[in-house]
Structure 1
Amino acid sequence: MWHITRFSLHNYLQINNHIMDIDSTLKRSNKTVSTKKLIFGLVVIGAMLISFALVQWFSPHTIPASQLQIASVSQADFIVKVQGFGRLKSKYQRYLTNTDVAMVEAIHVYPGTRVSKDTVIISLVNPLQAQRLSVARLELARQQASFSEQKINQQSQLLEREANLTLLQSELESAELKSEAESQLIEQGIVSSLDYKRSLLTVKQLQQRVEIEQKRLAQLAQMHLQRIKVQQELLRQFELNYKVQQQAFDDLQITAGIDGMLQELNVELGQNLTPGTRLAVVGSDSALKAELSIKQSDAEKIALNMDARVNTFSNSKQGEVAAKVTRIDPIVSDGRVMIELDLIGELPANARPDLSIEGHVISDIIANALTIKLPQKAKAHSKAMLFKLNPNTHLAAPIDIEFGTLSDNKIQLLSGAKVGEQLIISDLSKWQHLATIKIEQESL
């Protein structure tokens, strides 16, 4: 093996002191030392300096392999990922509020409890609402009774008119029979012409009275119909008022409204409430979405409908779930942007609202890209110098590398290396002036 030969600061100082001693000696014995000896001494010292420099340049510095990170260049489709962190959220949420002043009488369910849409969460009390409901019920009953009475009266009036019409029709039929009989007897001289004409006049008058009575009956029926419509509309208003008051009374029993989990409870027993107070929040626990926070600089790489993956840190193999980007929040907060993901497929067993997660969006796939594990201090779309290792000689020489896209602790190599070559990804910037370094392999 090669041995370490180092041009150290100590050696340099020793040579420098030696030169100063010679210079002092030359000054003290300037009269006795010849110019040739002075030149000879300077040549010797210069040769020593050059020798040390050459030894330092051509003798490689040795570094133990255990102190270095060495990675091989690989070639494959490079999946560019945008990483982020966030939480699972309910896809559907319902904010529970009250519609009138009330007091919290009872709390039946607390956060973290699974509920159905009919589960009563909070019971409120409002004496005024109970009174309004009672008044509305009485008014509706009174209006229904009035409507029924009006219908009976109308039926009675119609029956009376129909009776009058029937009586007139009977008189008309009798008069017609009389006139027909007289028309046959008038030729025999039994009935006078005057009586016959009177009979015809009576028939004509009765016909007119029947027609008038029929019109009066029709008008009365039409008038009754209009009154019925007015009363029905008025009755509907009372029914609607009763339903509103009944609904307001029922709303004192605060139900979940959807199947899911009670996520928030914002009131206490005995608390007096004003209309519109936020009482609780219920969210779906089976239909979930993911919200990821990503760097603002990465937001421009993301578009809607891009594929993504979400990790819920489940102990099972199904801890990851596929997703798609459905929304990109335009607001930037603390240098980060929130994106919303729609979860696809079966959710992991530990999935629940507000669960902390990690995830990534696949923003691009670079075909047949050269990649390597991310070197220390390396940046995307930059140039740097790395040491390439020769596995046969265990020597490493510096080469210039051009980097491309960075993703998931890997970086793309645009130039400077080939597939299978080994590069030292540790920080060796302090040795970059050396032509080579030697990697000392550990002995077995």
Structure 2
Amino acid sequence: MDIDSTLKRSTKPSQRKKLIFGTLLISIALIIWLIYSWLAPTTLAANQLQIATVTQADFVIKIRGFGRLKSKYQRYLTNTDSAMVEAIHVYPGTRVNKDTVILTLVNPLQAQRLSVARLELARQKASANEQIINQKSQLLERQASLTILKSELESAQLRAQAESKLIEQGIVSSLDYKRSLLTVKQLEQRVDIEKQRLVQLADMHHQRSKIQQELLSQFELNYQVQQQAFDDLQVTAGIDGMLQELNVELGQNLTPGTRLAIVGSDTALKAELSVQQSDAEKIALNMPARVNTFSTGNSGEVIATVTRIDPIVSDGRVMIELDLTGSLPANARPDLSIEGYVISHVIPNALTVNLPTKVQADTDATLFKLNPTTHLAHPTQIEFGTLSDNKIQLLSGAKVGEQLIISDLSKWQHLATIKIEQESL
């Protein structure tokens, strides 16, 4: 009997069984590990997430924009005639008052026109004075003639009265008495005619005086225009404020209507904000607003009111004009860059949370709601409402005090649970 062959045949089945049993154990262990890994929640570190708490309060809806402060009152300085810039007295950035001379212009023809206008006005005044003297002389002559006629009439009336008594005594003939009465009647008519002539003469003088006065007014107006044009060669600010622009150079020849400079008020200011066109539709006149000038001494916020909404849309934005009703900070000046917002309305007792990543207003989204006790987070469908700044309104899906993960967890939304690992102390 071959003992070695028998032993070899008996050991082979035993080794095969051991190998199969070991493989089975390893497979079972692997399956158990996979099942445990699948059932165990995914763990994320809390310090890598943004977690926000749902709050309830009056939700102020703000429409933000950016822009600049502008002068509430501006004056564009132009020239009315050809001229040359002779001197520049003030440069941009200088505070001025209404009488400050900014430019001196020169125009020799204007000085000549002013002299001619002054001479014509003086000649017309002399002519008017001469006419007044002549009229007074004519009136005096006419009044003297009337006085003589009245005297002759009184004498004739006295004669007729005396003859009326003597005719009865036969001292005066009837013919002489009738002649005296005729003389009285003729003198009375002459007096009436002379009075009418005096009235007509006075009326004629009045009409001539009106014509003369109108002519004189025209000459005076022409002189004033020429004088004003000459005075305008000294270009003054016209209002209190700051010289904002100077558009000419020394020695420059100017045509009529050239824009010389711009002066704007530096204490009376307004704000111009540029907002999105979609937001501008929610803004109305007289809405309250705030403007931030970024003053270092204080918050720099100024109370304001919407006074104008520009109807023109430029690059998808609309300009909103604000009247600054609050006290201006020390750094407020024209053309200062600012930010601001308009308070369109307030939602009372609204549920709000910090704006989650990739969430927009008036949409639904799935966020993970965190249980602070178990440190487990479950996906929850949330309905969002109005957005303002970095806050958004919650319409449904969460309550006051609940915590929501506002980080982007879109790649984990297929999971039923996420474990949030807190930092160890």
TM over 0.5: yes
Equivalent in 67, 89, 93 of residue 112 of structure 1:
93
Q: 1:217 to 1:349 in 2, by over 3 A?
A: same
What residue is the counterpart of 1:90 in the other structure?
71
What residue is the counterpart of 2:135 in the other structure?
154
What residue is the counterpart of 1:264 in the other structure?
245
- Bigger mean CA offset, 376-385 vs 351-360: 376-385
Once the two structures are TM-superposed, the CA of residue 397 in structure 1 deviates from its matched residue by: 2.7
Cα pair 1:304 1:327 within 8 Å, conserved? yes
Equivalent in 153, 171, 182 of residue 190 of structure 1:
171
Equivalent in 99, 121, 132 of residue 102 of structure 2:
121
- Secondary structure in structure 1 of the residue aligned to 2:184: helix
Once the two structures are TM-superposed, the CA of residue 271 in structure 1 deviates from its matched residue by: 1.1
- Please tell me the residue identity of whatever aligns with 1:313: F
What residue is the counterpart of 1:210 in the other structure?
191
- Structure 1 CA distance for aligned equivalents of residues 242 and 337 of structure 2: 17
Matches within 5 A, 1:252-331: 252-331=233-312
Q: 1:218 to 1:302 in 2, by over 3 A?
A: closer
Equivalent in 370, 387, 390 of residue 351 of structure 2:
370
- Structure 2 CA distance for aligned equivalents of residues 208 and 72 of structure 1: 115
Q: Kindly indicate whether residue 158 of structure 2 is the aligned counterpart of residue 177 of structure 1.
A: yes
Cα pair 1:302 1:363 within 8 Å, conserved? yes
Cα pair 2:292 2:299 within 8 Å, conserved? no
- Secondary structure in structure 1 of the residue aligned to 2:272: strand
Q: 1:391-421, CA deviations, whole angstroms, 9 ceiling, x for partnerless residues?
A: 2232323322222222111112222222112
- Structure 1 CA distance for aligned equivalents of residues 387 and 27 of structure 2: 49
Q: Kindly indicate whether residue 404 of structure 2 is the aligned counterpart of residue 423 of structure 1.
A: yes
- Secondary structure in structure 1 of the residue aligned to 2:291: strand
Q: 1:131-152, CA deviations, whole angstroms, 9 ceiling, x for partnerless residues?
A: 1111111111111111111111
Cα pair 1:102 1:273 within 8 Å, conserved? yes
RMSD of aligned alpha carbons:
2.5
- Structure 2 CA distance for aligned equivalents of residues 331 and 208 of structure 1: 83
- Bigger mean CA offset, 126-135 vs 172-181: 172-181
- Structure 2 CA distance for aligned equivalents of residues 56 and 416 of structure 1: 30
- Structure 2 CA distance for aligned equivalents of residues 198 and 72 of structure 1: 130
Structure 1 residue ranges without an equivalent (≥5): 1-38
Once the two structures are TM-superposed, the CA of residue 62 in structure 1 deviates from its matched residue by: 2.7
Q: 1:34-54, CA deviations, whole angstroms, 9 ceiling, x for partnerless residues?
A: xxxxx9999989867754542
TM-score by length of 1: 0.85
- Secondary structure in structure 2 of the residue aligned to 1:117: coil
Cα pair 1:58 1:435 within 8 Å, conserved? no
Cα pair 1:304 1:326 within 8 Å, conserved? yes
- Structure 2 CA distance for aligned equivalents of residues 280 and 240 of structure 1: 28
What residue is the counterpart of 1:102 in the other structure?
83
- Please tell me the residue identity of whatever aligns with 1:363: S
Once the two structures are TM-superposed, the CA of residue 304 in structure 1 deviates from its matched residue by: 2.0
- Please tell me the residue identity of whatever aligns with 2:394: L
Once the two structures are TM-superposed, the CA of residue 358 in structure 1 deviates from its matched residue by: 0.7
Cα pair 1:57 1:435 within 8 Å, conserved? no
Q: 1:248-278, CA deviations, whole angstroms, 9 ceiling, x for partnerless residues?
A: 2122222222222211111111111111111
Once the two structures are TM-superposed, the CA of residue 297 in structure 1 deviates from its matched residue by: 2.2
Once the two structures are TM-superposed, the CA of residue 117 in structure 1 deviates from its matched residue by: 1.9
* Off by >4 Å, runs of 4+ in structure 1: 39-50
Equivalent in 200, 215, 219 of residue 219 of structure 1:
200
- Structure 2 CA distance for aligned equivalents of residues 315 and 70 of structure 1: 32
Q: Kindly indicate whether residue 388 of structure 2 is the aligned counterpart of residue 413 of structure 1.
A: no
What residue is the counterpart of 1:245 in the other structure?
226
Once the two structures are TM-superposed, the CA of residue 426 in structure 1 deviates from its matched residue by: 1.8
Structure 2 residue ranges without an equivalent (≥5): 1-19
What residue is the counterpart of 1:20 in the other structure?
none
- Secondary structure in structure 2 of the residue aligned to 1:379: coil
- Structure 2 CA distance for aligned equivalents of residues 307 and 161 of structure 1: 79
- Secondary structure in structure 1 of the residue aligned to 2:189: helix
How many equivalent residue pairs? Answer: 409
Q: 1:90 to 1:215 in 2, by over 3 A?
A: same
- Structure 2 CA distance for aligned equivalents of residues 332 and 50 of structure 1: 65
